[in-house]
Amino acid sequence: MAHVNVFDTTLRDGEQSAGVNLNRLEKIEIAKQLERLGVDIMEAGFPASSQEDFEAVKEIANTVRNCSVTALARTFKSDIDTAWEALKGGAEPRLHIFLATSPIHMTHKLKKTPDEVVTTAVEMVAYAKEKFPYVQWSAEDATRSDYDFLAHIIEKVIDAGADVINLPDTVGYATPEEYAELFKYVKQNVRNIDQVTLSAHCHDDLGMAVSNSLAAIEAGVGQIEGTINGIGERAGNASLEEIAVALEIRKDKYTYQTGMVLNEIKRTSDLVSKLTGMQVPGNKAVVGRNAFAHESGIHQDGVLKEATTYEIITPKMVGIDSNNLVLGKHSGRHAFMQKAESFGFQLSEAKLKEAFHTFKDLTGKKKEVTDADLFAILTDKQTEN
Ligand code: KIV
Ligand code: ZN
């Protein structure tokens, strides 16, 4: 199996989620957990954005030893110098510098001509390379850029010394087929493309960030970018845990794997959720509260006989102790009996039947029947004459 690098940007793009503000200590705690999770590169922040972010990036770079720490910079010498001061003590200092290449961004945001954009990108990548051993350049809004122009600027930026070329789907606009086509186009039309690693960075505005990332992997990128729990600007970034688990579960289809330690996923997800204050939706793939919960009688019966009937991922694989048979209005006798047994009740067949009916009545009155409710029902039956 070939390896695809994981570039985690939870602490930079993830922190750009509306309402999220991590302090230095929180960032360091997450960084240490990301190191345990086994990401290859972590983007620790944007040092020129504030003194606090500078300090956090510096401390992370000086602490983390098992992966490369990077940080974001605009195409300004002052941003690059500030990033160098923050990152120079790192195990493998790496700069992430970006400039937009789409007509919309160049005209309205940068107010620069395409030629000026090429000149700036080339000058700043060359300047960054005087200090940093590794430089990643991102063509912001790549998916809405003119492909010929993109090929031209990429060629120049590689000549200037870039090591990684990232083509972000900044506004989550691309479909999987289009995103794969973009990478194929660049591979075929950029003379010196073999000198660099290609990277995919997807946003989830149309709910396609993970699919787009997987399509990019199939198209041959060597690096994928994303965040834990998929947090990030607007609808968020590609969710790294979903990509890693999809590659593992569908290794019949994909020939790439990440180096992520899959059973650290749940712990990482919980920590990010706690410190960012962003709750993970219950039905979120891989880490949601319901991702391994079964409510209907048919499913519970199947899972009790053989888990793989309705579970393609084992909870343990991602660091969750066990699945969860939730007793609700669709649940059947089989799961109810199993729950009673797990609580240690040994009731006669007749009493269990009555208890089951009481439970079913309750599901018509309450949205969620808790373990405490079940315990009370079973205790009543046990003490009844
Ligand atoms: O989405 C994006 O384009 C970015 C860049 C800074 C890489 O986050
Ligand atoms: Zn982004």
Give yes or no for a contact between 8 and 34, defined as CB atoms under 8 angstroms apart. Answer: yes
- The average confidence (pLDDT) of the chain is 97
Q: Is 294 annotated as a binding residue?
A: no
6-30 pLDDT, tens digit each? 999 999 999 999 999 999 999 999 9
Q: Which ligand is nearest to the CA of 136?
A: 1
Please tell me the residue having the least CA distance from ligand 1 atom 7: 138
Task: Decide if pLDDT at 245 tops 90.
Answer: yes
115-125 pLDDT, tens digit each? 999 999 999 99
Helices of type H across the chain: 24-37, 51-63, 77-87, 103-104, 114-129, 147-159, 176-189, 209-218, 240-249, 265-276, 297-305, 333-343, 349-363, 371-383
Task: Decide if pLDDT at 385 tops 80.
Answer: no
Q: Which pLDDT score is estimated for 384?
A: 85
With a 6 A CB cut-off, is 140 part of the ligand 1 pocket?
yes
Task: Give me the mean pLDDT over the 96-112 stretch.
Answer: 98
Q: Which pLDDT score is estimated for 368?
A: 80
Interatomic CA distance for residues 241 and 6, integer angstroms: 10
Atom of ligand 1 nearest to the CA of 140: 3
Interatomic CA distance for residues 340 and 271, integer angstroms: 33
Residue 99: what residue type? Answer: L
DSSP 8-state code for residue 227: B
Task: Decide if pLDDT at 211 tops 90.
Answer: yes
Task: Measure the CA dihedral 242/247/252/256, to 10°.
Answer: 160
Q: Is 324 annotated as a binding residue?
A: no
Interatomic CA distance for residues 169 and 201, integer angstroms: 6
With a 6 A CB cut-off, is 381 part of the ligand 1 pocket?
no
346-367 pLDDT, tens digit each? 999 999 999 999 999 999 998 8
Ion ligand 2, residue ranges at CB < 5 A: 13
With a 6 A CB cut-off, is 138 part of the ligand 1 pocket?
yes
With a 6 A CB cut-off, is 145 part of the ligand 1 pocket?
no
Q: Is 237 annotated as a binding residue?
A: yes
Q: Ligand 2 centroid vs 293 CA: distance in angstroms?
A: 32
Task: Give me the mean pLDDT over the 301-319 stretch.
Answer: 97
> CA–CA distance from 238 to each of 32, 242, 263, 285 (Å)?
21, 8, 19, 12
Q: Ligand 2 centroid vs 71 CA: distance in angstroms?
A: 13
Q: Which ligand is nearest to the CA of 227?
A: 2
With a 6 A CB cut-off, is 13 part of the ligand 1 pocket?
yes
Interatomic CA distance for residues 145 and 130, integer angstroms: 29
Atom of ligand 1 nearest to the CA of 9: 8
With a 6 A CB cut-off, is 170 part of the ligand 1 pocket?
yes
Interatomic CA distance for residues 198 and 186, integer angstroms: 9
Q: Which pLDDT score is estimated for 288?
A: 98
With a 6 A CB cut-off, is 35 part of the ligand 1 pocket?
no
327 — pLDDT class (breaks 50, 70, 90): very high
Identify the CA nearest to 231 among candidates 203, 264, 194, 258. 203
Give yes or no for a contact between 93 and 128, defined as CB atoms under 8 angstroms apart. Answer: no
33-61 pLDDT, tens digit each? 999 999 999 999 999 999 999 999 999 99
288-301 pLDDT, tens digit each? 999 999 999 999 99
With a 6 A CB cut-off, is 256 part of the ligand 1 pocket?
no
Task: Measure the CA dihedral 107/110/111/115, to 10°.
Answer: -80
With a 6 A CB cut-off, is 98 part of the ligand 1 pocket?
yes
In 3-state terms, what secondary structure has residue 19?
A: coil
Atom of ligand 1 nearest to the CA of 138: 7
Please tell me the residue having the least CA distance from ligand 1 atom 8: 13
Cα-based angle 202, 211, 204 (whole degrees, multiple of 5): 40
Task: Decide if pLDDT at 71 tops 90.
Answer: yes
Q: Which ligand is nearest to the CA of 105?
A: 1
Q: Is 201 annotated as a binding residue?
A: yes
Indicate yes or no: pTM above 0.90: yes
Q: Which pLDDT score is estimated for 367?
A: 80
Task: Measure the CA dihedral 194/200/201/206, to 10°.
Answer: 140
